[in-house]
DNA sequence: CGTGTTAAGATACAACATATCATTTTTGAA
DNA sequence: TTCAAAAATGATATGTTGTATCTTAACACG
């Protein structure tokens, strides 16, 4: 189903890719941003801004306010370093920054884990439906809520 | 794109259809539920529980608390009388209760209006992707954020 | 340096959502 | 009809998510 080439990154490799991507857009990879990215990437589930604020605060020994976290998450989303899972009011690190496409998230109602799926033909169809209705600046939100295999 | 027969209801006809549907499930069509449904159906855009609480309170001259509204909206969603638009934290009356299918919502970031689209083949594909990953109790969330034709 | 710009912090508050317990209304059997 | 159980709604408190505004700190660069 992955109809395009891309690289799934992990750990340091992911942070490096994220940094490279952000800097390519002329943005800076500051300590705070790095800490927030690392924390986000450390979650195996979509993390709320408050989750991240708490962990980063502890990790750095000084409080990081939620609004700062939101600011940086917004920056990450705008630059494809992270995605927002709308049905969970939470965020996920993008495991393949630099690769532009519409992700599909399968979110388990029981354990909260989110599976990331790519299906370009499907997301293209969604875009086509919206285009047909005259929509511009299209951002598909394709998610599935349900019970994952492990929880069944 | 609507690959199945169904009826779009409006006004009293819609409320009647909603009532019939709810009662078919053994639930009661109380005054409060009727008022909340009417208010919800009167919105041309996804309405938040608080929006509805405020309007219903005014209309009935007595306060209806948000938690009551949430309770009833949950009931409506469970019985297909309303749908939740996840990316807007808000609700829409279902213009065709009794007709089971996965709706697609196109939501304008500028004016907030939501266009309702049905595409069974598309939503079936989304379900298929989730099924292939071992998901059960699947509830697709297919929405598109963007700028609508009028706002362009 | 000094000055303008960008990033981050502090604080307050708004918006969305749920938990718990009390009260009212409905129902249906005695 | 009366009364007890169940269902619906109300009151209240609190938790969670998100934004607005202003201040302070870090940085870049002439
Ligand atoms: Zn990809
Ligand atoms: Zn699970
Ligand atoms: Zn339909
Ligand atoms: Zn619009």
Query: What is the spatial distance, in angstroms and rounded to an integer, between the CA atom of A101 and the C1' atom of D28?
Result: 35
Mean of all residue pLDDT scores within chain B: 94
pLDDT tens readout for residues A1-18 = 445 666 787 777 889 999
Compute the C-alpha angle A47/A71/A42, nearest 5°: 30
Q: Which two tokens stand for residue A35?
A: 């800490």
Tell me the pairing of strands B90-93 and B114-118: unpaired
Cβ–Cβ under 8 Å, residues A101 and A108: no
- pLDDT at position A12 is 78
Domain covering B103-146, topology: Dna Ligase; domain 1 (3.30.1490)
Q: What is the CATH number of domain B11-93?
A: 1.10.10.10
Q: Answer yes or no: same fold for B11-93 and B103-146.
A: no
Is B145 in CB contact (< 8 Å) with chain A? yes
Rounded Cα gap, residues A2 and B89, in angstroms: 31
CA distance B107 to A107: 22
Q: What is the pTM of this model?
A: 0.94
Q: How far apart are CA B46 and CA B63, in angstroms?
A: 22
Closest nucleotide to A90, Cα to C1': D17
Distance from CA of B50 to the nearest CA of A (A): 18
CA gap A44, A46 in Å, rounded: 7
Within 10 A of A85 (CB to CB), how many other CB atoms are there?
A: 21
- The mean pLDDT value for B41-66 works out to 96
CA B27 from centre of chain: 18
What span, in angstroms and rounded, lies between the C-alpha atoms of A29 and A17?
11
Q: How does pLDDT run along chain A (152 residues), one tens digit per residue?
A: 445 666 787 777 889 999 999 999 999 999 999 999 999 999 999 999 999 999 999 999 999 999 999 999 999 999 999 999 999 999 999 998 988 999 999 999 999 999 999 999 999 999 999 999 999 999 999 999 999 999 99
- Are the Cβ atoms of A1 and B129 closer than 8 angstroms? yes
- b/e for B61-80, b at 16 or more Cβ within 10 A? eeebeeeebeebbebbeebb
pLDDT of residue B2: 46
Q: Do A125 and B125 touch (CB under 8 A)?
A: yes
Q: Exposed, middle or buried: residue A17 (CB in 10 Å: 0-12, 13-18, 19+)? A: buried
Strand D bases within 7 angstroms of protein beta carbons: 7-13, 16-21
User: How many angstroms is C1' of D18 away from CA of B5?
Assistant: 40
Locate the domains of chain A by residue range. 11-93, 103-146
Q: Which residues of B touch A148 (CB under 8 A)?
A: 133-135
Residues of B within 8 A of A139 (CB-CB) are 144-146
Chain A interface includes B106 (CB < 8 A)? yes
Distance of C1' in D24 from CA in A68, Å: 14
Reported as a single tens digit per residue, the pLDDT across B84-123 is 999 999 999 999 998 999 999 999 999 999 999 999 999 9
Q: What crossing angle do the helices spanning A66-78 and A11-24 adopt, rounded to 10°?
A: 80
């Amino acid at each position: 189903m992955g109809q395009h080439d891309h690289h799934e990154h992990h750990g340091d490799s992911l942070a490096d890719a994220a940094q490279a991507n952000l800097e390519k857009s002329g943005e800076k990879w500051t300590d705070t941003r790095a800490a927030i990215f690392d924390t986000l990437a450390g979650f195996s589930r979509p993390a709320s801004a408050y989750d991240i604020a708490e962990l980063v605060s502890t990790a750095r020994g000084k409080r990081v306010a939620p609004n700062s976290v939101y600011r940086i998450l917004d920056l990450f989303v705008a630059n494809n370093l992270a995605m927002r899972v709308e049905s969970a009011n939470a965020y996920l690190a993008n495991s393949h920054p630099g690769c532009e496409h519409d992700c599909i998230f399968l979110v388990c109602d029981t354990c909260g884990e989110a599976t990331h799926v790519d299906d370009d033909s499907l997301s293209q169809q969604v875009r086509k439906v919206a285009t047909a209705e005259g929509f511009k600046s299209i951002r598909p939100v394709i998610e599935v809520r349900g019970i994952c295999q492990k929880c069944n």
